Amino acid sequence: MSKVKTLGQFIIEKQNDFPYAKGELSRLLRDIGIAAKIVHREVNKAGLADILGEVGETNVQGESVKKLDVFANEQFIAALSVGGECCGIASEENEDIIPIDTPQSRNAKYVVAMDPLDGSSNIDVNVSVGTIFSIYRRVSLTGPATHEDFQQRGTEQVAAGYIIYGSSTMLVYTTGKGVNGFTLDPSIGEFCLSHPNMKTPSNGKSYSINEGNYVHFPDGVKKYIKYCQEEDKATKRPYSSRYIGSAVADIHRNLITGGIYIYPTTASSPKGKLRLLYECSPLAFIIEQAGGKATDGFQRILEIEPKTLHQRTPFFAGSSEMVDTACDYMKRYSAAQV
């Protein structure tokens, strides 16, 4: 008897934990898993673009070649639209919400917010990218989703997850009862449970921030970086600096080994760069479920009330003690800038 547990088996086993009707959220997660496998396939062929055709050209099969973020967006929208459990999508790639209006989805209970391809500048250089998703129960009653369905705080998420297309492809998700990670076995085409009940260490040895923006950081962040670089045996400082530039990959590493990820305000991004709805909130839900913390430097990410679809926020996330220390520096040196 094989010990392998697939994502599909795991979801069915756990569906009694869901607070609402059983099969629907399971099917939604299954639909996301299907789209993830298709995106995995294309991400793995990205280096072949020169052979198969450049973006914007027609490839040897006569198909027009799309940018991978556009392709990923289309795949997730298609999977969620035909699945019948989702009545609307908010995507980084679309200015407005995408209401789904099919006979099956009219009474669907969920909406999905997503960043279909995170870290897309890393695609051309064969470095890890990801997908982030966040699932809410609709607040509208019936028909296609409305804006108010997406104007819910992160605390209202029923599930969230990310897919990392890295040296292997993994899907990591939570429904509010811990975090579980599944690695894609391409030989059988299944995500298999490889990281059950993921917990992040309360302290780590690395900090992840785009230090090139140093001069534009708030004073609290500047002082915290200096703290990370100081020598102190008791707290194992100096920490290592580790920054991939794909939030999913940086967060994934820090989740496993311990660490802090910071994307603060900068001169070019005075409100931060990352988006609340489909980057920070889902990542914050996962990090908290793994025992870590996620804030905007002052306030818990999950309690921020979203005002607009593509709202940005500063992001401090990772090992709880490291985030606490960084937030102490923000309170001491940057309160005036908020």
What are the residues binding Mn ion (CB under 5 A)? 92, 115, 117-118
Using alpha carbons only, how large is the chain's radius of gyration in Å? 20
User: Which of 160-168, 230-238, 245-253, 303-311 is the region at the interface with ligand AHG (rule: CB under 6 A)?
Assistant: 245-253
Q: Binding segment for ligand AHG among 40-48, 96-104, 118-126, 299-307 (CB under 6 A)?
A: 118-126
Q: Is 245 in the site for ligand AHG (CB under 6 A)?
A: yes
The conformational region for residue 17 under phi > 0 = left, psi -120 to 50 = alpha, else beta, is alpha
Stretch that binds ligand AHG, among 51-59, 73-81, 190-198, 244-252 (CB under 6 A): 244-252
Report the 10 Å Cβ neighbour count for 213: 17
Q: Which of residues 177-216 bind ligand AHG (CB under 6 A)?
A: 210
Is 309 among the residues that bind ligand AHG (CB under 6 A)?
Answer: no
Shorter beta-carbon distance to ligand AHG: residue 247 or 322: 247
Using the rule CB under 6 A, is 242 a contact of ligand AHG? Answer: no
CA distances from 80 to 29, 85, 160, 252 (A): 10, 7, 15, 25
**Closest residue by beta carbon to Mn ion:** 118
The residues facing 184 across adjacent strands are 191
Instruction: Work out how close the CB of 139 gets to ligand AHG at its nearest, in angstroms, rounded to a whole number.
Output: 26
Q: How far does the chain reach from its first CA to its final CA, in angstroms?
A: 58
Chain residues 44-73 in contact with ligand AHG, contact rule CB under 6 A: none
Residues 6 or more apart whose Cβ sits within 8 Å of residue 281: 113, 134, 154, 157, 160, 301, 302, 304
In the complex, what is the shortest distance from the CB of residue 324 to ligand AHG, in angstroms, rounded to a whole number?
22
Q: What is the dihedral of CA 151, 157, 158, 163, to 10 degrees?
A: 110
| Interface pick for ligand AHG out of 28, 39, 114, 247 (rule CB under 6 A) | 247
Nearer to ligand AHG, 63 or 96 (CB): 96
The entry of ligand AHG, Mn ion, none near residue 246 (CB within 5 to 8 angstroms by kind) is: ligand AHG
Question: What are the residues whose beta carbons fall under 8 Å from the beta carbon of 278, sequence distance 6 or more?
Answer: 90, 91, 92, 113, 114, 115, 132, 133, 134
- Using CB under 6 A as the binding criterion, the count of chain residues that bind ligand AHG stands at 10
**Beta-sheet pairing, 190-195 with 179-185:** antiparallel
Residue 261 CB, nearest approach to ligand AHG (Å): 8
118 binds ligand AHG (CB under 6 A): yes
Dist. CA 303–CA 300, nearest whole Å? 6
Select from ligand AHG, Mn ion, none the partner in contact with residue 39, using the beta carbon and a kind-dependent cut-off of 5 to 8 Å.
none
Q: Which residues contact ligand AHG (rule: CB under 6 A)?
A: 92, 115, 118-120, 210, 245-247, 273
